[in-house]
Amino acid sequence: MGEHEEQSQKVEMEWETPSSDEIVEISKGHVIGLEMTDDDAVWCVAGMHHLVLHTIGRRSGIEHKVALPFWRDREGHRIVVGSFAGAAKDPSWVWNLKDRATNPRVKVRIQRGIFWSEHDVLEGGPERDDLWEQMIRDRAWYADYQKKTDRVIPLIRLSETEAFSD
């Protein structure tokens, strides 16, 4: 187990939840910033480390990028949350990840590197529920988002399965 265990991942929400449209625009701007620098101030926002997830659109076939905060599970895997602030439907990047034919693996950019992930989309069951309970101890606002929607908010495990090379 690595150094991530020694550092708390607990974050108190000190911001207003943006609208769905605002989330999309904030992410677009954040992706640009993340691609320009490895500066801690850009990669760690509101006490949370971020990553850039690259997916291929299941309908468009075009690469999409989204900036997402992540949380680490007990094994150190990065977990991202498909909450979309409690919207009725999953965000488009989650739909892209569910389409294994289009996205059998995904490219993930982290602060000082890039890797391929054979991701796991956890939408229910004991494993997802256990991870959810652990995660909301550190990121309590996600429980509020879950209360806003009838869907089970998915957790996506982004294991580092292969080094990235062009």
Q: Is the pLDDT of residue 6 over 90?
A: no
Query: What does pTM read for this prediction?
Result: 0.84
Q: Does residue 2 sit within a domain?
A: no
Q: Does residue 65 sit within a domain?
A: yes
Q: Is the pLDDT of residue 83 over 60?
A: yes
The predicted model gives 112-119 an average pLDDT of 94
Q: Is the pLDDT of residue 128 over 80?
A: yes
The reported pLDDT for the residue numbered 23 is 67
The reported pLDDT for the residue numbered 5 is 45
Distance between CA atoms of 126 and 100, rounded to whole angstroms? 22
Q: Does residue 104 sit within a domain?
A: yes
Q: Is the pLDDT of residue 70 over 60?
A: yes
Structural domains in the chain (count): 1
Please give the backbone phi and psi of residue 140, each rounded to the nearest 5 degrees, phi first: -60, -30
For 35, the domain range is: 19-163
The reported pLDDT for the residue numbered 166 is 62
97-103 contacts, C-beta under 8 A, 24 or more apart: 97/55, 97/121, 97/156, 99/58, 102/56, 102/57, 102/58, 102/61, 103/55, 103/56, 103/58
